[in-house]
């Protein structure tokens, strides 16, 4: 996956925005103020931090060398996924993990905000 493809994927979700609260190099993707993905899009290899159900996070780490506990994140709820380079996960799996992260964050929003999103 390329950095542009990752950015487009993240921004393709309803109400998703990209912000730079930490450094100009770290893209933070949010939905209604809540983070669902972080990435240094110019990093080599391309990596992205994604939220994950704790049990699923452990399973994914056991199954894929390209998935490790979230760098600078709560390691129980976040994974760092290698999305680009020779050791990257397949693009389809990266897309699925990004979508799962977005959905998990949306599920934690108050009901009124979830209804406002009206995701297709």
Greater confidence (112 vs 18) lies with 18
Q: What is the pLDDT of residues 62-97, one digit of tens each?
A: 999 999 999 889 999 999 999 998 889 999 999 999
φ and ψ at residue 73, rounded to 5 degrees: -130, 170
pTM of the entire structure?
0.93
Residues β-bridged to residue 28: 19, 38
Going by pLDDT thresholds of 50, 70 and 90, the confidence category of residue 116 is confident
pLDDT at 47 > cutoff 60 = yes
The CB density around residue 44, as the number of other CB atoms within 10 Å, is: 8
Phi first, then psi: give them for residue 110, nearest 5 degrees.
-60, 150
Q: Where are the alpha helices (DSSP H) in the chain?
A: 3-11, 54-63, 91-107, 111-117
Report the C-alpha gap between 2 and 8 in whole angstroms: 10
């Amino acid at each position: 996956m390329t950095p542009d493809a990752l950015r487009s994927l993240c921004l393709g979700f309803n109400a998703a925005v990209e912000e730079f609260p930490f450094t100009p190099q770290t893209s933070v993707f949010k939905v209604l103020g809540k983070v669902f993905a972080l990435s240094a899009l110019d990093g080599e290899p391309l990596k992205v931090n994604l939220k994950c159900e704790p049990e699923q996070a452990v399973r994914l780490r056991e199954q894929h060398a390209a998935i490790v506990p979230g760098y600078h994140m709560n390691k129980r709820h976040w994974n760092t996924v290698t999305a680009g380079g020779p050791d990257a996960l397949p693009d389809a799996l990266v897309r699925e993990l990004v979508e799962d992260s977005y959905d998990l964050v949306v599920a934690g929003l108050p009901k009124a905000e979830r209804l406002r999103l009206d995701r297709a």
